[in-house]
Amino acid sequence: MNLADLNKIACAMVAPGRGILAADESTGTIKKRFDAIGVESTEDNRRDYRELLFRSAEGMKHISGVILYDETIWQKAKDGTPLVEVIKKAGAIPGIKVDEGTKPLPFCPGEVITAGLDKLADRLPKYYEQGARFAKWRAVIDIAAGIPTHTCVWANAHALARYAALCQVNQIVPIVEPEVLMDGDHDIDRCLQVTTWVLKETFQQLYYNKVALEGMVLKPNMAIAGKKSAKKASVEEVAEKTVKMLKECVPGAVPGIAFLSGGQSDEEATAHLDAMNKIGGLPWKLTFSYGRALQAAPQKTWAGKAANVPAAQKAFTHRAEMNGLAALGQWKADLEKKAA
């Protein structure tokens, strides 16, 4: 392992004013997204859609890296250029989702464990050869009555750390993503309590597995109320509680933290990130690694029609630009209105 090179990539992933585009929806998830806009989920349609994002020259100025799904990393653009080359030409680093989704966790009703460790040591060198310089593994923790359990938090943290160590020996920067879902009716303080637990367990396991913190990026959820909660927290409360939590849990050796959007509205995800960066004085960079909060607008605009590609690219560029500003703490709500 060359830690200096891993650190260089990790720092580039969280470079000022730039963040990560999560375009790594599994075939099942992208089908759901395409169903919502009335587009058939064929290999060509998935390629055309993702190609339009990667070819958004203006939008990609705010994107440091792109997380790809296995299918996409091997795909070629319509003109025969490998999509990985399109991404590199746009100035971004290609990355790869390497987890294989979740499976029920035995004896833990309602809880899941992320699969994919078994053949990972063989798969990583192939992804490196194909151009991937970072990877992603998502652990999923749900909040409900009686869950999460210690079994679930521990098992998922352990798997994340095993994955991260395997990435680093293969010269790939691991994005460590323990996602506490915002699906429930819990309030922000319950989210804060569970996320603190999950982050502390995750960093303990990273330590036990000898992961070099300088060569990784953390991708957490924010401290936020569940979608069905009667008590929605303000932007300031989310920002303050999330920053306080991260300071308590994330060592300063980690170069950067790139949040998932997790079902927040596009503008909320931007406003929260911006408010955190406005607090300032942080030991790590705080940026975005959004899927839905970057793609919902361009997907809707595109709707599977070639004629809509320029408008969809404009919609993507707008969200990338807004989040790029939020990563600097320079976003303002009226910039959204101007664009509308």
The distance of closest approach from Cβ of residue 268 to ligand 13P in the complex, given in angstroms and rounded to an integer, is: 12
Total residues at the site for ligand 13P (CB under 6 A)?
A: 10
Q: Which is nearer to ligand 13P, 56 or 299 (CB)?
A: 299
Among 50, 292, 318, 319, binds ligand 13P (CB under 6 A): 292
Q: Which is nearer to ligand 13P, 79 or 117 (CB)?
A: 117
Q: Do 223 and 209 contact (CB within 8 A), yes or no? A: no
Regarding 260 and contact with ligand 13P (CB under 6 A), the answer is: yes
Looking up tokens 């899941």 gives: 112
Helices vs. strands in the chain: H and E counts, helices first: 14, 10
Name the residue among 316, 329, 333 with its Cα closest to residue 61: 316
How far apart are alpha carbons 79 and 23 in whole angstroms? 20
Site residues (CB under 6 A) for ligand 13P, limited to 160-219: 177
Q: Which is nearer to ligand 13P, 3 or 115 (CB)?
A: 115
Regarding 290 and contact with ligand 13P (CB under 6 A), the answer is: yes
How far apart are alpha carbons 97 and 7 in whole angstroms? 19
Expressed in angstroms, the distance from the first to the final Cα of the chain is: 47
How far apart are alpha carbons 331 and 322 in whole angstroms? 6
- Tell me which amino acid residue 327 is: A
The tokens for 168 are 């680093």
Among 242, 261, 270, 323, binds ligand 13P (CB under 6 A): 261
Binding mask 2-31 for ligand 13P (x = CB under 6 A): --------------------x---------
Regarding 138 and contact with ligand 13P (CB under 6 A), the answer is: yes
Q: Do 250 and 284 contact (CB within 8 A), yes or no? A: yes
Q: Which stretch binds ligand 13P (CB under 6 A): 35-43, 226-234, 236-244, 290-298?
A: 290-298
The distance of closest approach from Cβ of residue 177 to ligand 13P in the complex, given in angstroms and rounded to an integer, is: 6
Q: Which residue is nearest to ligand 13P (CB)?
A: 291
The distance of closest approach from Cβ of residue 32 to ligand 13P in the complex, given in angstroms and rounded to an integer, is: 12
Q: Which stretch binds ligand 13P (CB under 6 A): 83-91, 116-124, 187-195, 254-262?
A: 254-262
Name the residue among 29, 237, 225, 232 with its Cα closest to residue 138: 29
The string over 186-197, giving b where at least 16 C-beta atoms fall within 10 Å of a residue's C-beta and e elsewhere, is bbbebbbebbbb
Residue 107 phi, psi dihedral angles, 5° rounding: 65, 10
How far apart are alpha carbons 194 and 92 in whole angstroms? 33
The distance of closest approach from Cβ of residue 97 to ligand 13P in the complex, given in angstroms and rounded to an integer, is: 8
Q: To 10 degrees, the CA torsion angle through 18, 20, 21, 23? A: 170
Q: Which is nearer to ligand 13P, 293 or 309 (CB)?
A: 293
Regarding 291 and contact with ligand 13P (CB under 6 A), the answer is: yes
Q: Which is nearer to ligand 13P, 1 or 101 (CB)?
A: 101
Q: Which is nearer to ligand 13P, 184 or 291 (CB)?
A: 291
Q: Which residues are catalytic?
A: 177, 219
Residues that bind ligand 13P (CB under 6 A): 22, 138, 177, 260-262, 290-293
